[in-house]
C-alpha cells in the first residue's frame, strides 16, 4: 500500500497578489489622454516614417525619439489571433473570446486587444474590425474605453497588406 506522504507533490494552489504602481511617462500619457478623448494616437519615426501606436517615445528599430502625433483610425486588420477559453476578471467579455493583434489603419505595428461580436470559428487573419467603445460617460484614461474590436462589413485585407506584421 502506498503512503501519501511518499508521493511527489505534483501541484500546489497558492493565492498571490501583486500590487504595483505604473508611471506612464510622456509617450504613454499622451496615448492615454488621447484614449480619454476617443482618439488612438501614435508617433512617427523620423528615419523611416513608420508609425507606432501606442508610442513608447522612441523608434524600436533606430533608437531615435519618435516625432509628432499621428491620429489613427479605430479600424484595422486582424493579423494573428488565438481563442481564449479561460475567463479574465479584468475583461467584460466572456470566454470563449478572440485575443488578436490588430494592425490599425495607418500604423506600422500591431495593437493587442480582444475581438467581440464574432464567433470563434469565424475569426480569421485579414478580418477587418473596428473599435467598439464603451459609453462616453464612462471614459477614463484607460485602454478599457475600447470594450473590444468587432468585425465590420468590409472585405478581408489582402495577405500582402499585413504579412510583415505576423
In the chain, domain spans: 22-72, 74-166
The Cα 106–Cα 127 span in angstroms is 16
pLDDT in tens, 14-23: 888 889 888 8
pTM of this structure:
0.86
The Cα 100–Cα 40 span in angstroms is 17
Give pLDDT, residue 10. Answer: 86
Residue 126 has pLDDT above 70, yes or no: yes
Residue 128 has pLDDT above 80, yes or no: yes
Amino acid at each position: 500500500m502506498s503512503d501519501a506522504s511518499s508521493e511527489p507533490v505534483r501541484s500546489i494552489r497558492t493565492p498571490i497578489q501583486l500590487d504595483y504602481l505604473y508611471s506612464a511617462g510622456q509617450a504613454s500619457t499622451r496615448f492615454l489622454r488621447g484614449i480619454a478623448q476617443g482618439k488612438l494616437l501614435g508617433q512617427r519615426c523620423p528615419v523611416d516614417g513608420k508609425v507606432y501606436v501606442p508610442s513608447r517615445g522612441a523608434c524600436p528599430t533606430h533608437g531615435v525619439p519618435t516625432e509628432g502625433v499621428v491620429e489613427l483610425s479605430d479600424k484595422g486588420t486582424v493579423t494573428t489571433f488565438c481563442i481564449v477559453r479561460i475567463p479574465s476578471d479584468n475583461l467584460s467579455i466572456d470566454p470563449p473570446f478572440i485575443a488578436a493583434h490588430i494592425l490599425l489603419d495607418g500604423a506600422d505595428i500591431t495593437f493587442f486587444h480582444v475581438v467581440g461580436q464574432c464567433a470563434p470559428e469565424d475569426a480569421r487573419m485579414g478580418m477587418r474590425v473596428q473599435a467598439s467603445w464603451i459609453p462616453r460617460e464612462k471614459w477614463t484614461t484607460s485602454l478599457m474605453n475600447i470594450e473590444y474590436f468587432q468585425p465590420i462589413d468590409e472585405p478581408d485585407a489582402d495577405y500582402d497588406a499585413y504579412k510583415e506584421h505576423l
